Each structure stands twice: as structure tokens, then as C-alpha cells.
Structure 1
Amino acid sequence: MFQLLETFTTVYEEQNFTKAAKKLYISQPTISVHIEKLERDLGVKLFIRSGNNRIAPTKAADFLYEKAKQMKNNWSNVLSELSRLDGTLRKKFKIAASQTIGDFLLPQILKPLKIQFPYVDFNFFIENSNRVFHSVHMLDADIGLVESPEIVPGVKREIFMWDEMVVFGAAENKTWIYREKGSGIRDYMDQYLLMENIQPEEKMIMNHNAMIHQAIELGLGRTLQSKFVTHSKHVPQEKTSLNRPFYLITSEQNRNLDLDLKESIFKLLAELK
């Protein structure tokens, strides 16, 4: 069954039998046999075939893909934990974080974290908040750290800190620089402009904090950012009344989550100023 699910998830991601076969180093007829057997075993149609090797996943395939990814990641965690208990492998722990938290907060806790858990190899992924929620939900990450107030079924969230929002850039500049939709800061930017009855004459959208940072340094516009973001002294800044929570999120499906490790990360982050 694991082999069939591996074939299925690859076909689903590639949306093409030939590409899936190349990725798995098996023949295309074998791919077809695996998918047909899985469809017979489950009693559902997974893909609609059309010309030119094109396929479209069914609703059953959408559902199965999510569950199969979770099963795969859970099984990987089980194998990792068993190997660690046997003394043959170090434990892996995956943390997905939105950009502000990943850029400015996570580096501050790495040293004490490594001292407390010397047997753990940490993997970090910096993404926007929507992608972090997705990674946690699919068990691609053990925990997530986000700025977005989004509520996702099956994902638990805990506030570890309140952040203060600051406007950077000269007041006479009429250009406002936004993050892309799906980022944690974007929702608060929209909220702030609405509260202050500001209708930007010009807008720029950037999908990375480093680019926004450089644009502000060059005087290209104004933006709303965390108090943890640092700019040169010549950049004007204005405190706002807007605060936002930072969340640690976990999946309710992650039954192999190391709770001691998760609680230690929560505590270390909560102690930051």
C-alpha cells in the first residue's frame, strides 16, 4: 500500500504519468498499474484521463492526497524516533516560520535551543503565513510560527508574544509598500490604512521583507512592520496603536510531536523582548 500511495502522491503533484514515472525511476505502464490497483482497492476514481497525457484529479484524489501526505510524514516521524531510541540516528525537528519571526526572532533562540537539545537536527523553512499553515496541516513541519490571525480547522494555535506595529518611512511619501496577500503582515497593513483613513496614491507589492527593507532604506515609500525590524537612524518611524499576536501552531493530527521540545521553543520565544 505504501508503494501505491507513493506513486499516487507523485502523480498528483506532477499531474502527469510520464513525469511521475521519471521522478520515481519506474516505467509509465507501472505507474498506470499502480493507480488502477489503488482505484480498485479504494473503489473510487482518482484521475480523469484526457489526451496528451493530461490528467485531472477528482475530489476523491484531493482528499486522499492530503491524508496520504499526513500518513507519510507521520510514518517518517515514527521511523526517526525509533532510530533515535536505538541510538542510530539523530532526531529531526522541522520548524516553519513566517518571515518576520524567522528573520528576527528564531535566530535569538537557536543557541539555547541547541544547548537544551544537542541530539536534535533542526530544519527551518521561511514562508508566508498561509504556506506555514499548509505545511503544519500537511505535517511537512512539526510546528509553525505565524503572524496571521487565520483559523484553520485541525490546527491548534497558542499566542507566545504580542508584537507592536511601526510605520517606517517619511510621512510626505505617498507610496505605500505592501507584502503579498497571504502574508501575516498584509492583513494588518490593510487594517491600519483603513483605521487611519489612508488611501495610498501609489502602491508597490513585494513578497520578501529584505526587499521591502532595502526599499525603505532608499526612501521609496512607507510600510507597516514589526517593532523587531531594524532600520538606519535616518529612516523616520512612527509608533502605532496596532498590536498583533504571534502564534505557535501545531496539527491535531501530529501524534508524534515532541511536546517537551515544542514547549521549550514556546517558552524561549515568550521570553524575548
Structure 2
Amino acid sequence: MIGMNYNFPLKNQTPSRKPFKIAASHSSATTVLPLIFKNLIPELEQLNIELMMLDSQEVFDLIRNHEIHFGIIEKPMMDETIETFPLFKDELVLAGKPENDIFFIREAGSGVAHYTHNYLKENNLNPKNLVSVNNNDMIVSQLNAGIGASLISKRFINENIAFQSLDKRYHRIFYGVSFLAEQDKLLKTVIKQIKNLSEF
């Protein structure tokens, strides 16, 4: 069988369009990023947009190095070169079946991992099987199958997943981050548009 190599020109990848790279944490990438992207559609003729999903620390580091233009993170992180501002409200819940003695936890560096460790410690819980997972969709698929429990954003809950609400300490914020010394006028305008979507 002969392999075929197709090269399609990307018409929108033109020098006249400004690169605009957005990186979002795992929970925000599939829940709130679509809300932001929808509002950027009118700007597509001016921008070459690239979307990435990374953990919060990686997003923050890329902003600090000015390798991306806008990021969404799950915990408040500060740096003198970065503007950090609240964007959307979120709520973590205990989802699934804790009685299975299987607890799924996000990897180190994830915003949810910090909350999960605190939850287990505060409630003197020591699950027999603590499973590290680097993707929310994988956790949700296990919960949908009736396997184990996890702390996840309420935005992921569906009719197949039982959940328990937690106290206000597990209410959190998705933060926007941008490079403070950004000079490009168009990109500054776009970031301002995103700020205007804030729930705060």
C-alpha cells in the first residue's frame, strides 16, 4: 500500500495575521475556554490563534517567558512580569463512589491536585488505591463507568455521575494571565475583550 502525502495550504496562516497563543489548564480548557474562543471569532481575520492544554504551572511559565500571549490557570500565581486577574468561578465536588476505595488524583502541578491532597488530609482519608491521572477526560470516563471517586470541577458532572458538594473552601477561581509588558496594540485589545468576560 502506497502512502499518500497531502499538503494543504493553511489560508489563514498569513504574515498579515498576528500570532495569538492561548494556553489553558486542563479543567478550564474544556469548560471555559470555549466561552472565550466564541468571543474571539470576530477577530479570526486578524489573528492566527493557537490553543494549548497544559497544567497551571506550565501555562504560568510560558506567560512569564512571553512564549504565549494569554493563559488560564486554576490557582492564584503571581510574578512581577505577569498580570493575573479573576475570570470565572468554579466549584470542586466529590464525584463518584468513594466506597470503591479507588481515588483518582490529578498529577503534581495541576491546580486540582493541591485541593485533593488537602481534602484527603482534612478528612483523614487514606484510599487503598490512589491513582494519578494527567487528564480530566480520563477521570470522567472512569467515573462514568462507576469506578472510583475524585475531586473534579462541577462543570464535568453529568447525569451518570453522583456527587457531593463541599464547603466554600473548594470554591475556586479560574484566573487569566497575560504578559504585563505586552506592546502589541491588537493583542492588548483582544486581552481586554477577554477580561470583559469576567464573572467578577
TM-score over 0.5 for the pair: yes
Tell me, in whole angstroms, the C-alpha distance in 1 between the residues paired with 2:114 and 2:79. 16
Q: 1:110 to 1:150 in 2, by over 3 A?
A: closer
**Pick aligned residue for 1:245 from 173, 180, 194:** 173
Structure 2 residue 28 is the aligned partner of structure 1 residue 101: yes
Q: 1:151 to 1:201 in 2, by over 3 A?
A: farther
**Pick aligned residue for 1:165 from 81, 92, 95:** 92
Question: Which structure 1 residue ranges, 5 or more long, are not aligned?
Answer: 1-86
One-letter identity of the residue aligned with 1:234: N
Match of 1:177 in 2: 104
Q: 1:149 to 1:229 in 2, by over 3 A?
A: same
Match of 2:6 in 1: none
Tell me, in whole angstroms, the C-alpha distance in 2 between the residues paired with 1:217 and 1:152. 39
Tell me, in whole angstroms, the C-alpha distance in 2 between the residues paired with 1:226 and 1:111. 21
Match of 2:160 in 1: 234
Shift of 1:271: 4.9
Match of 2:149 in 1: 222
Whose helix proportion is higher, 1 or 2?
1
One-letter identity of the residue aligned with 1:265: I
Match of 2:188 in 1: 259
CA RMSD of aligned residues (A): 2.2
Shift of 1:202: 1.6
Shift of 1:253: 4.2
Match of 1:156 in 2: 83
**C-alpha contact 2:97 2:147 (8 A) present in aligned 1:** no
> Greater relative contact order: 1 or 2 (C-alpha under 8 angstroms, separation 6 or more)?
2
Q: Secondary structure at the match of 1:215?
A: helix
TM-score (norm 2): 0.83
**Pick aligned residue for 2:65 from 133, 138, 147:** 138
Tell me, in whole angstroms, the C-alpha distance in 1 between the residues paired with 2:125 and 2:19. 46
Deviations 1:93-115 (A, max 9, x none): 11111011111111233233112
**Pick aligned residue for 1:209 from 114, 120, 136:** 136
Tell me, in whole angstroms, the C-alpha distance in 2 between the residues paired with 1:172 and 1:218. 15
Shift of 1:153: 4.6
**Pick aligned residue for 2:114 from 173, 183, 187:** 187
Whose strand proportion is higher, 1 or 2?
2
TM-score (norm 1): 0.62
Larger radius of gyration: 1
> What's the % identity of the aligned pairs?
27
Shift of 1:251: 2.4
Tell me, in whole angstroms, the C-alpha distance in 1 between the residues paired with 2:196 and 2:88. 10
Q: Secondary structure at the match of 2:140?
A: helix
How many residues end up aligned between the 2 structures? 184
Tell me, in whole angstroms, the C-alpha distance in 2 between the residues paired with 1:226 and 1:99. 11
Tell me, in whole angstroms, the C-alpha distance in 2 between the residues paired with 1:267 and 1:108. 12
